[in-house]
Structure 1
Amino acid sequence: MQSEEGPQGSSGLSRRHFFMRSAVAGAAATLSGGIFQGLVARSALAAGEHDKLRGPGYGELRPAGNELALPRGFQYSIVSAEGDTMADGYPVPKAKDGMATFHLPNGNMLLIRNHEDTDPASRFRPRPPDSTSTSAGILNPILNTQYGPRDYAYDAYAGGGTTSIEVEPYGRRRLVRQYWSLVGTLNNCAGGLTPWGSWLSCEENTESISSTGFGQNHGYIFEVPVNTTPGNPVTPVALKHLGRFRHEAVAVDPATGIIYETEDQSNVSGFFRFVPSTKPLQPGELAGISGTLEMLKVNAAAGYETAIGQTVGVALEVSWVSIDAPDPSPATVQFEGEITSVVFKQGFDAGGARFRRLEGCWFAGGKIYFISTNGGDNGLGQLWVYDPGDETLTLIFESPSVDVLDGPDNICVSPRGGIVVCEDSSSAQYLRGISATGEIFDFARNLHNTTEFAGACFSPDGRTLFVNIYGRSTVRTTQPYKSPVLIPIGPEKRERALTLAIWGPWRSGLL
C-alpha cells in the first residue's frame, strides 16, 4: 500500500481547528497570493497558447480500478453506492451532489451529502384514478420505504435531502454507518460548511405549493447539524431570510458570519450575501437571526455583464444593493425572454451585476472564490474572487478551450492550498487541479459512467479527498405505466451514484 501523506498530528482536530487551519493557516498564504497571482500570471504568459495553461500535475492518469483513472501512487475505495441499505433501513438515494466533511469526537469522519433529486411531485402523490400519464404516482408505493422517514419531511411530495455518512479515517476508509439527515426537500445541489459546525444545504429549484404538486414552497437553504442519528434526521427549517431562488453553493466568512450565495439561473444569475445582525455561534441559531440579503453590484455600470469582454487580473470596484423581499411568491418572473428569480430581478433593477450560471463557492485566505460555469467569451467557465477587504471583484481565470477547463462546477480548496474543480463537461468527466502557480492539470477521470463529479472535499486531516459520481437525478420509468427500474442490478448498474475516497502521495504534487 502506498504511504498516506498529509499533515501530521491531526487525528484529534476539532472542527474549529480544522476550519482555522484549512481556511486560514493552510490556504490563506497560498490563495491570497499564490493561486490568485499564479492564474493571472499564467493567463498572461499563455496569451492564446493554451498548452501553457496546462501542466503535468501528479503525472499521467491510469486506471486505478473500474471506476477511476488516477495518477500513479493514488488509490481509492467506494465508500457508498446508490441502492445500498443504510443504517436507518432506507436505500442510499440517487443524485449525489455537494458534500462536506467533519471531524467526530470518536476520531472518525462524518460526510454530509446532498441528493439532488428532481423527480416531480406528481410521481410521489397517489396516482389519480383517471390518469393516463405513464409516470403519475409511480413513486408513491415506495415513498415511505425509500425516501427517508416521512414524519420528518419538509415536503411530503419531495424526494431530496441529505444523508450523513460516518467513515473511518485510515486504511480503506471503511464505512461505519450512513442514514438520512434531511428529508423532503428538492434539488439539493451544493451548499457549504459553516464555522459553527454544520452544513447548509441548498435547493436549486423554486417550485411552489399547489394542490396537485408540491406540498411546500421551495428555493431555500436548510441547515443540517452533525449530531443527527439513524431514524432521527433534523427537523427541517427553511431559512427564508437567506433568499428564495435557485441556490447552488454558499461560503461563510468565519470572522463576520456573512454567508455568500451563488445562484444557478442560466444567463441571469446573481451573487448574493446574507449579512446577519449577529454572528451565529451554534448550529440552529441561524434560523432565529435577522439580517439583510444583498446582491453584488459592479460600480462601473448598473447591470454589469460579467460573462463576456472581461480582462483577467483587473480589479473591479463593487458595492452591494439590498433585496427588500427575499422570500417572494411567485418566485420567478420573465426577464429578457428568460425565466429568472424575482430576487435577482430586484437586485438587477437596483444596479446589481449579472453572471452566467454561478456554481461552486469557497472561502479561503479572507476572500471568496466562485465559479461561473458558462461565463467567458467561449462560455467555458470563469473563476472569480471577491475581496471583502477592499470591496473588489477580480476575474482570475477564464477557460479558452475545453482542453483546459470545460464547465467548472463544484470547487474545494485543499489544506495544502491547491484547488480541486469538478467539471460538468459535455464529454469525458474530469477532476481538475489548480496549483499555486496557476498550473491546471488532470487529477481524476470518471471511468464508471458519463455523469459528472460532484461534492469534492478533503477530510479534516487533509489525507483523503472525497468525491461523488453524480448518477441520475430522476428515476428511470418504463412504458407503459409500471414500477420504476431499480438501479443496483441489471444493465443500469453503471448508472449508480457513488461516493469515493481517494488517498495517496499528496505532497509529491500540487494539491
Structure 2
Amino acid sequence: MTALTAMSLTDHELTRARRRFLKAGAATALALSPLGQLLAKAGGPHSGPSHPGYGRLRPVRDLTTGLPLLRLPEGFSYLSFGWAGEEMAGGAVCPDAHDGMGLVRAEGEVLTLVRNHEIVTGAGSFAPASATYDTRCAGGTVTLRFDAGAGRLLDMRPSLSGTLQNCAGGVTPWGSWLSCEEFVSDPGPVRLGGGEHTLARAHGYVFEVPAEGLSRAEPIVGMGRMRHEAATVYPRTGEVYLTEDQESGGASGFYRFIPKVRDDFLRGGRLQMLKAVGEPDLRTGQLVGRRLKVEWVEIEDPDRGFDSDGRPIGLQAQGYAGGASKFSRLEGCIAGDEVVYFVSTNGGDAACGQVWAYYPERAELVLIFEPSDPAVLDYPDNIVLSPRGGLVICQDSKGPRQHLYGLTAGGELFVFARNDVVLDGAMGFSGDYRGQEWAGCCFSPDGKWLFANVYRPGFSVAITGPWKQGLI
C-alpha cells in the first residue's frame, strides 16, 4: 500500500478540512445541474454508460485474504477488513449485514469510521448496556479505526445496538454518525426475521453515534418515526435532510429537520416534508434538467409512526394532507456546500432509478439523471460526493452482479468496481455473494482511500489507486 501524507488535525482543523472536502464536491454542483453541462441533456433519459471512466475492470486480489473479491480498473488495489464473525474489542462478535457507513474523524493517519448493521431480528444487543436501546433487538453500529498510512485495520468495537434495521445514515460536521432505523413498530409483539418477537420499545428513529465512546442510545424523536434511509447535514444551515424507503410499492417522502440547536438534535426542532409546486407525484413522468420550485409542509406530530389504518406511514399521511410530493423508494442522500443530492432507487419511467439535486438557497429541485434501461443503472442506493468531482453510487439491484458507479461532473456514468465475491470456506463463509449489494461508500479526507461495504457475507474494503480529477 502507498503511504498517505501524514495529517495532524485538531477538531477545529478537522472541521475546516470537512468544509474543504464538501466544497470540493460542491464545486461540481453547477456541472451536475441543469445550470451546467446537463442543460444540454434536459428532457431525455440516459440510454447507456457514456464515459470510459478509469477503464476496463479486471480481477484484483484482496491484500488481506489474497482472494479476487473485486473487479477494479488497472492500477487500483484494495484490502478487506471488519469481516462479520470477527471478534471485536470487548469480545463481542461482529454482526453481518454491513450497510451505511461514514468517516467521522481523522487524527494523523488514523481514520475513524462508523458502520451500520441492518439486522432485523430479535436476537439481542451486541453493545454494552449503556449503548443499548432495546435489549430484544440486534441491529446497531460498529466503530472502526483504520491506519491510512499502513493500510490496515487497527480495531473495531460496538458503539450502538438494540436497534432495528439500521440501514443508512450520515455524518455530521462535528464528527458523529446518524444511524437510521428502517423499521417502524410499537412496543409489543412483532414479526422479525421470520419469527415472532416482543419489543420493549417503539422503533423507527434516528440515533447519534460519537466518534469516540458509545452512543447514548437515545432516539432523536424530532427527526420522525418512519422507515428511515439516509440523513445528511447541510453545512450552511445545520438542517438535516432525510430520505424514506417504503419498499412495498408505496410512495416515499423527502424530509427536512430544522434543529432548535445546531449540534444538539435531542433538543428538538421542526420536521417538514418536500412539496414540489404543481408536481404531487415525482415517481414517473419527469424531465431531466427541469427546475421545480419547492415548498415545505410541516409535520405536526413527528412521533406518529402509523396512520389511522395502522400502516407505518404516519408522517406521510400528515405530509400528503398538506400537498407534499411523492417519490419512489428514496435511498442515499449527501450534502455539498450548495446542493443536496438524493436518489430514488426504483423511480423513473423505466423504474430503475433517479438522481435528484435540491438547492436549498434557491428552493429548487432538479432531476439530474434518470436511466432508460436497467443495463445502464439499476437500483442506485448509497451515494457520496468525491473530492475530485462527481458522485459514487452504490448498486443494490436484483441482478446477479452489483457495481460501484461513478457519475462525472458532466453527468456521464461509468462502472468503477464490481462485486466478484465467491467463497469456499475463507473467513468462515462459503457461497456465491456476487449479487450482494454495495453500501457505505465514503472517502478519506485527502481522497486517497474510498471505503465501501459488501453487505453479505459482510466486510468493508479500502480502495486506492490512480485517481483522476473530474471522475471520482
Q: Same fold (TM over 0.5)?
A: yes
Correspondence 1:156 to 2:135? yes
Structure with greater strand share of residues: 2
1:368 and 2:326 are equivalent in the alignment: no
After superposition, the Cα gap between the structure-2 partners of 1:95 and 1:49, relative to the gap in structure 1 and judged at 3 Å, is closer
Structure 1 pair 80/42, CA: closer, same or farther in 2 (3 Å)?
farther
Deviation at 1:68, TM superposition (A): 0.4
Partner of residue 308, structure 1: 284
Match of 2:419 in 1: 446
| Distance in structure 2 (CA, Å) of the matches to 1:369 and 1:464 | 22
AA aligned to 1:55 is H
2:467 matches 1:510: no
Give the C-alpha shift of residue 151 in structure 1.
5.0
Q: Which amino acid aligns with 1:193?
A: V
Q: CA RMSD in A?
A: 2.1
The one-letter code sitting in structure 1 at the alignment partner of 2:303 is: D
Matched, 1:203 2:181: yes
Tell me which residue corresponds to 2:193.
none
Structure-2 change in CA distance of 1:22 and 1:36 (3 Å) = farther
Q: Does 1:470 align with 2:472?
A: no
| Cα distance in 1 between the residues matched to 2:459 and 2:145 | 15
Amino acid of the residue matched to residue 278 of structure 1?
A: V
Aligned to 1:272: 255
The alpha-carbon deviation at position 343 of structure 1 amounts to: 0.5
User: What SS is found at the alignment partner of 1:102?
Assistant: strand
The answer for unaligned runs of 5 or more in structure 1 is 125-142, 472-495
Bigger helix fraction: 1
Report what 2:15 is aligned to.
16
What is the Cα deviation at residue 105 of structure 1?
Answer: 3.1
- Corresponding residue for 1:436? 409
Aligned to 1:50: 47
Counterpart code for 2:461: L
Gaps of 5+ in 2: 62-67, 190-196, 422-432
Amino acid of the structure 2 residue aligned with 1:67: L
Structure 2 vs 1, CA of residues 356 and 117 (structure 1 numbering), >3 Å: closer, same or farther?
same
TM-score after normalising by structure 1: 0.82
Match of 1:82 in 2: 84
8 A contact 1:38–1:436 mirrored in 2: no
Kept in 2, the 8 Å contact 1:333–1:341? The answer is no
Larger radius of gyration: 1
The residue aligned with 1:258 is 239
The structure-2 alpha-carbon separation of the partners of 1:32 and 1:352, relative to structure 1 and needing over 3 Å to count, comes to same
2:260 and 2:205 map into 1 onto residues whose CA distance is 20
Secondary structure of 1:16's partner?
Answer: helix
Q: How many pairs were matched up?
A: 442
One-letter amino acid of the structure 2 residue matched with residue 435 of structure 1: T
Check if 1:249 corresponds to 2:230: yes
Matched residues in 1 for 2:379 and 2:38: separation? 19
TM-score (norm 2): 0.89
Q: Distance in 2 between matches of 1:39 and 1:157?
A: 51
**Shift of residue 254 of structure 1?**
1.4
Code of the aligned partner of 2:47: H
1:100 maps to which residue? 102
CA distance in 1, matches of 2:233, 2:225: 18
Shift of 1:39: 6.6
Does residue 456 of structure 1 match 2:441?
Answer: yes
Q: Does the 8 A contact of 1:43 with 1:397 survive in 2? A: no
Give 1:55 shift.
Answer: 1.6
After the TM superposition, which residues 190-339 of structure 1 pair with which residues of structure 2 at under 5 Å, given as runs?
190-210=168-188, 213-228=198-213, 233-266=214-247, 267-280=250-263, 285-288=264-267, 290-301=268-279, 304-328=280-304, 331-332=306-307, 334=309, 339=311
User: What amino acid is the match of 1:72?
Assistant: E
**Structure 2 counterpart SS, 1:32:** coil
Greater relative contact order structure (CA < 8 Å, 6+ sep): 1
- Counting aligned pairs with the same residue, the percent is 41
1:44 is displaced (CA, Å) by: 4.6
1:441 deviation in Å? 0.5
Give the 5 Å matches for 1:414-429: 414-427=386-399, 428-429=401-402
